[in-house]
């Protein structure tokens, strides 16, 4: 890789080959503005765009982008991209170690590539996608402690005199600001999740259920939608705790929560109501359709083998109740009561069945 020539002061590129000295006081101004952005807003996109605008203002690349790490897939995706061909990058993913950006994410080291034709790491398929010729690349990792959160990549900003040490230092400092913004946003997200999620099952909690029910009642009244509630109670769950211990009981609840999530639509909301009780909110769903969903979940719970990965192979059944809005009730409290009552009608008689408000135990659910 060719060495770039260092130069004194921070300089702004107006166009390839033309440089205008940027006073060092302006560098302080850039950091001052970014500091204000970080302390005045927890909106990640807003802060990141401020950071990237400063990069554009100071370094004048043809295209600049911020790629974030998808930790589950070990891939980078384009969170922000501007310039010619930016729209084509929306669905592009880059594997860890692939291309210049992938190499930077993997190594944690910044890189300046004055001529991409001379660098074997260059990933030409991105150019094929954007229809833009990448002549040079500058990329720096966005790191928080020892973790790489992403990569900032500048395209075609290396002029005839190279890319100076102060330019690179500024870019790395801006990447640090991006890392702080990303971590702040993640902390806020985690705190928010703690207030609405159940630790054991990762489903929403009862507090959030009450809020979402109010929201759904408002939507249903405004747009004349029906919606339905399904209550699920696990039969003889106490026996699981007594036989295998509370740790295995909690694990079983987590597995049931996963099954419910996996068999819900995107618009459905699943909650742990308390103990071994679960609630599913089905927006825009009639009682008839809710009965079909409840029967399917009831059958899945009965036929599944639980705690297989720890060698216990537990079988359980469930008692299920259904109520719909506005057909069964037009108030939240009464709707919850009716769904709960339908479930307890099963629980206190046959168990292992599905019942609906005003319909009783559904034929074929036993």
Share of the chain above pLDDT 90, in %: 61
Locate the DSSP E strands across the chain: 10-15, 18-22, 63-70, 75-82, 93-95, 111-113, 137-144, 147-155, 227-234, 269-274, 277-283, 318-325, 353-356, 360-361
Q: Among 363, 200, 214, which residue's Cα sits nearest to residue 277?
A: 200
Q: Among 252, 284, 256, 286, which residue's Cα sits nearest to residue 271?
A: 256
Quick check: pTM over 0.75? Answer: no
Give pLDDT tens digits for 308-364.
Answer: 999 999 999 999 999 999 999 999 999 999 999 999 999 999 999 999 999 999 987
> What pLDDT does 286 receive?
96
Q: Among 152, 136, 134, 132, which residue's Cα sits nearest to residue 80?
A: 152
Cα separation, 299 vs 221, whole angstroms:
33
Going by their DSSP bridges, the two strands 227-234 and 277-283 should be labelled as antiparallel
- Mean pLDDT for the chain? 86
Locate the DSSP E strands across 71-195: 75-82, 93-95, 111-113, 137-144, 147-155
Residue 307 zone, left/alpha/beta (φ > 0; ψ -120 to 50; rest): left
Q: Among 326, 319, 334, 337, which residue's Cα sits nearest to residue 278?
A: 319
Domains by residue range for the chain, with CATH: 10-195 (3.30.450.40), 206-361 (3.30.70.270)
> What pLDDT does 200 receive?
93
Give pLDDT tens digits for 262-292.
Answer: 999 999 999 999 999 999 999 999 999 999 9
């Amino acid at each position: 890789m060719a060495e770039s020539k260092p130069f004194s002061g921070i300089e702004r590129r107006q166009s390839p080959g033309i440089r205008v000295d940027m006073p060092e006081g302006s560098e302080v101004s850039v950091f001052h503005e970014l500091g204000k952005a970080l302390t005045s807003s927890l909106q990640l996109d807003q802060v990141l765009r401020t950071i990237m605008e400063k990069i554009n203002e100071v370094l004048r690349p043809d295209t600049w982008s911020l790629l974030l790490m998808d930790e589950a897939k070990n891939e980078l995706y384009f969170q922000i991209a501007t310039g010619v061909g930016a729209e084509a990058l929306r669905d592009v993913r880059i594997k860890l170690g692939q291309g210049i950006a992938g190499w930077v994410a993997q190594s944690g080291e910044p890189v300046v590539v004055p001529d991409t034709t001379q660098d074997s790491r260059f990933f030409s398929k991105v150019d094929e996608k954007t229809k833009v010729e990448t002549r040079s690349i500058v990329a720096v990792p966005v790191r928080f402690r020892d973790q790489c959160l992403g990569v900032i990549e500048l395209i075609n900003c290396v002029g005839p005199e190279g890319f100076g040490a102060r330019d690179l230092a500024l870019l790395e400092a801006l990447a640090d600001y991006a890392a702080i913004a990303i971590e702040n946003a993640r902390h806020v997200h985690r705190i928010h999740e703690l207030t609405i999620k159940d630790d054991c099952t990762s489903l929403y909690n009862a507090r959030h259920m009450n809020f979402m029910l109010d929201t759904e009642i408002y939507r249903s009244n405004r747009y004349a939608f029906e919606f339905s509630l399904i209550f699920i109670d696990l039969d003889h769950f106490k026996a699981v705790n007594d036989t295998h211990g509370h740790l295995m009981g909690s694990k079983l609840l987590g597995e049931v929560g996963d099954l419910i999530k996996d068999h819900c639509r995107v618009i459905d909301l699943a909650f742990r109501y308390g103990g071994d009780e679960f609630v599913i909110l089905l927006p825009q769903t009639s009682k008839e359709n809710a009965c079909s969903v409840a029967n399917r979940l009831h059958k899945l719970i009965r036929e599944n083998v639980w705690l297989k990965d720890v060698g216990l192979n537990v079988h359980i059944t469930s008692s299920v109740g259904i109520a719909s809005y506005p057909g069964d009730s037009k108030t939240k409290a009464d709707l919850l009561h009716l769904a709960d009552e339908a479930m307890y009608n099963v629980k206190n008689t046959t168990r292992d069945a599905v019942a609906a408000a005003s319909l009783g135990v559904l034929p074929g659910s036993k």
